[in-house]
Homo-oligomer: A and B are copies of this chain.
Amino acid sequence: MSYNTREKWTHRLHEIIFEADTKAGKTFDVILIFSIVVSVLVVMLDSVAEYRAMYGDWFYSIEWFFTILFTVEYFLRIISVKKPSGYIFSFYGLVDLFSILPTYISILLPGSQYFLVIRILRVLRVFRVLKFTQYLIEVNQLQKALASSRRKITVFIFTVVTITVIVGSLMYVIEGTENGFTSIPKGIYWAIVTLTTVGYGDISPQTNLGQMLSAVIMIMGYGIIAVPTGIVTVELSRAQPKGRSTEVCRYCSREGHDSDAEYCKYCGGKLNA
């Protein structure tokens, strides 16, 4: 195989595996998503004792089928990229590796049942495919909004952690070990469960003073939960253009027209003319 043929061949392979513009690339993506979903379902069902007892052998066979399939795919990816190390140490490269490695290790180290759970990371592989779809714009807008609210959310989380540390310590003193607040970390855990309005009820205040303080925290939690929502909403509304076109009127040179406008709303001149 001449260098050129190989070059052409890996280029074609790259197009199929990494992109979704061609028909073959799209077919590959559909098969890949289907394989990922099925293999993740098998990992999940295999953890249910009764299903493993009944269908354990089937699960074992299916698991090996997909592991070999993903292994072949992994090496095809390495071959088809120009700089293999770039792919191998990328986020998705590592996810791909961790998706197949545990199955092989399980032969060498029998009984490493919990280790096999790492295969669940396969579910992350679906995101790669998502990137090529029509959802790309939505993914980008959401990422952009979250990225620009990153610093505000950091300040917010920092404040929440401080509140829970102080409130958790206070409740540890008020309620004490006999009511389940056995230590400050336990009190902080309770404070987080309460402030986020999860409220398991595994630990709950029993004393009058404790219940009064909790009530205050919960009403505070109301206001606190409003803050990240406000931050993300503002960023999202900025990430999203307001349906205005950027067109400038040829006659009066003013802009700010709606995207469905046909005439300039200031001078009546024809737009798009």
Which residues on A are within 8 Å of B, measured CB to CB? 40, 43-45, 47-49, 114, 117, 120-121, 123-124, 126-127, 130, 134-135, 138-139, 141-142, 145-146, 151-158, 160-162, 165-166, 169-170, 172-173, 177, 182-186, 188-189, 192-194, 196-202, 204, 208, 211-212, 214-215, 218-219, 221-223, 225-238, 240, 242-243, 255-258, 260-270
Contacts and interface: CB of A to CB of B under 8 A. Distances in A.
A127 B159 CA distance: 9
* Interface SS majority for chain A: helix
Contacts of A43: 169, 184
B222 A231 contact: no
Contacts of A169: 43-44, 47, 117, 120
A263 B269 CA distance: 9
Given A123-B165, A233-B234, A266-B262, A184 B221 contact: no
Contacts of A49: 177, 182-183
B240 A184 contact: no
Given A138-B152, A198-B218, A230-B145, A268 B258 contact: no
Contacts of A166: 120-121, 123-124
A219 B196 contact: yes
Contacts of A243: 238
A169 B229 CA distance: 28
Contacts of A229: 225-226, 229-230, 232-233
A139 B155 contact: yes
Contacts of A255: 260
- 10 closest cross-chain pairs (CB), A and B: A263-B268, A198-B199, A200-B201, A261-B265, A230-B233, A47-B184, A230-B232, A226-B232, A201-B201, A226-B229
